[in-house]
Amino acid sequence: MFDRPITRPSAFLLAFLVALTGVLISTPATPAQAATVSSAGTYEDSSPNITYTGSWSRLSSSGSSGGSIRHTSSTTASATLTFTGASITWYTWNSPTAGIVNVIVDGKTVATVDNYAPSSTTGIVGYQADVGPGTHTIKIVGSGQKNAKSSSRITHMDSFVVGAVRSVPNLDTPGRIGECPDATTTVSTAAELTDALGSAQPGSVIRLNDGVYTGEFTLQVVGTAAQPVWLCGGRGAVLQTGSVNTGLALRVHFSAHVHVAGFSVTTSLQGVMVKNSRDVTVSDLAVSNIGYEGIHLYAQTTDSAVQYNTISRTGVRDVAYGEGVYIGTSQRRWSEVTAGLPDKSDRNKIIMNTISDTGAEHIEAKEGTTGGIIGGNTLSGSLPGSRSLGWVLVTGNAWTIAYNDGSDAVEHAYSSMVWSNWGYDNEFFANTGTANSSGYGVWVHDKNRRVKVACDNDITSSGSGLTNVFCSP
């Protein structure tokens, strides 16, 4: 009843509607007409780029994308946007008075959307599709039909969001196993490995022969860009402590320009930890059967990369500490790890890893971290009892989370959390997956922290929907 155009609302009626619904209905308005070709962006109902035909009225609503919505009871009135982009999203309302709306893209009816609901709900995605790069036109128009339970045939226009045309960047960092140079030292035993790590210097290339290396191994060396230090071997070379209840298989600390590549890490409390280092690359490892986290960059480790690793079954001792890849340190441990300061493990890249069956999140970036990239990873499955908040969980600032794919989440698929002044300016785009869970595809803890969730994220079977915020170009 509140969606019908009202020509001269009385002061009493306005007050009644505001008190009851929290929104204000204004007098009917026919927005300015336009035939502009629109680029990537969000086009609110008031945008001059939207061409309206017929009579539309405006409804102010804090729950709508731009603070208002247009609505019409005419079954011939339409709203049209011509745009250049790769995807299109139409935001609308569900309400007891809504009708069934036709969505027409490039002259073809692509969807018939029933917007009826027993109670009004804002921020509803009426239609969303990848349309391919190019110039397109979307039009919404009433079909003249309605749900049998609806009391009217109202069409609602909140906003259109045009998705950008994206190109996948090449984020690979030097340090993959195929790039490992000729060895300066070849080792076959744990004792030989310990000695080689202890005597490493710029330009050293330590190659592991196949075999099992049991112990806790540490590398501390400052290489250079021209003379990096390598520790590499095939998958048949296996580092372990021998128990998921004790020990760290490989520690790289106070180091720079180090490449760790190719071999296996298993049956240890913790897999690989990189501490207080920079320009370290961990590539092509097979990490499995780990008590806590698989690979951990922390204690001001910066400008490093974790790439092309296969990680599985982390958190087998305690699922709460079983991240596949963990960046930074919880604020509860800053006093212990970073003298009470934020752990600024910044500008790290977590790319192209395959991570499965983790106890906690597949990838987590903690508060204190800034400016990293989580991209191109394949993420699936969790250990029994997992309380994971997502395949990817970010509490840092200005992280980019893109082109990841996942399956079988515990709750949400991707999450942006907050703590104190952390959890700002993260961006999620072009992520995919099948969540098979009750949460959101992308969940944003605080909607006021400038977190962007692009409309081209495509996470299906997420029980709560794609996201709890309005998606962006």
Q: What is the DSSP string of 176-222?
A: -GGG----SEEE-SHHHHHHHHHT--TT-EEEEPSEEEES-EEE--B
SS3 content of the chain, % helix, strand, coil (to 5): 5, 50, 45
Q: The sheet that has 427-429: what strands, in order across it? A: 185-187, 205-208, 229-233, 256-261, 278-283, 305-307, 349-351, 373-375, 400-402, 427-429, 452-453
Rounded Cα–Cα distance for residues 211 and 68 (Å): 67
pLDDT value at position 167?
A: 82
Rounded Cα–Cα distance for residues 316 and 173 (Å): 30
Contact criterion met (CB below 8 Å) for 326 and 292: no
Rounded Cα–Cα distance for residues 174 and 79 (Å): 51
Reduce the DSSP state of residue 453 to 3 states and report it: strand
Residue 422 DSSP code: B
pLDDT value at position 286?
A: 98
Phi, psi of 307 (to 5 degrees): -145, 145
195-203 long-range Cβ contacts below 8 angstroms, 24+ apart: 197/231, 200/229, 201/229, 202/227, 202/228, 202/229, 202/257, 203/227, 203/228, 203/229
Contact criterion met (CB below 8 Å) for 268 and 241: yes
Residue 195, judged by CB atoms within 10 A of its CB (0-12, 13-18, 19+), counts as middle
Phi, psi of 274 (to 5 degrees): -115, 115
Contact criterion met (CB below 8 Å) for 419 and 441: no
Rounded Cα–Cα distance for residues 93 and 193 (Å): 64
pLDDT value at position 19?
A: 29
Residue type for position 125: V
Tally of CB atoms within 10 A around 380: 19
Rounded Cα–Cα distance for residues 84 and 95 (Å): 31
Residue 20 DSSP code: H
Q: What is the CA radius of gyration of the chain?
A: 27
pLDDT value at position 334?
A: 98
Residue 404, judged by CB atoms within 10 A of its CB (0-12, 13-18, 19+), counts as buried
Q: Cα 101 vs. chain centroid, distance in angstroms?
A: 31
Query: Rounded to whole angstroms, what are the CA distances from 163 to 132, 136, 269, 271, 427?
Result: 10, 12, 44, 40, 14
* CA torsion through residues 60, 63, 65, 70, sign: negative
Rounded Cα–Cα distance for residues 330 and 367 (Å): 7
Reduce the DSSP state of residue 468 to 3 states and report it: coil
Rounded Cα–Cα distance for residues 228 and 230 (Å): 7
Contact criterion met (CB below 8 Å) for 195 and 226: no
- Domains, the chain, with CATH or none: 11-163 (2.60.120.260), 177-467 (2.160.20.10)
Reduce the DSSP state of residue 146 to 3 states and report it: coil
pLDDT value at position 25?
A: 33
Say if strands 392-394 and 363-365 run parallel, antiparallel, or are unpaired: parallel
Rounded Cα–Cα distance for residues 183 and 294 (Å): 27
Q: What is the pLDDT along the chain (473 residues), one digit of tens a residue?
A: 223 232 323 332 222 222 223 333 333 444 444 458 999 999 999 999 999 999 999 999 999 999 999 999 999 999 999 999 999 999 999 999 999 999 999 999 999 999 999 999 999 999 999 999 999 999 999 999 999 999 999 999 999 999 999 887 778 889 999 999 999 999 999 999 999 999 999 999 999 999 999 999 999 999 999 999 999 999 999 999 999 999 999 999 999 999 999 999 999 999 999 999 999 999 999 999 999 999 999 999 999 999 999 999 999 999 999 999 999 999 999 999 999 999 999 999 999 999 999 999 999 999 999 999 999 999 999 999 999 999 999 999 999 999 999 999 999 999 999 999 999 999 999 999 999 999 999 999 999 999 999 999 999 999 999 999 999 99
pLDDT value at position 35?
A: 57
Task: Determine if residue 446 is left, alpha or beta; phi over 0 gives left, psi from -120 to 50 gives alpha, anything else beta.
Answer: beta
> What is the C-alpha end-to-end distance of the chain, expressed in Å?
33
pLDDT value at position 173?
A: 87
- Of residues 455, 389, 460, 469, the one with CA closest to residue 166: 455
Reduce the DSSP state of residue 234 to 3 states and report it: coil
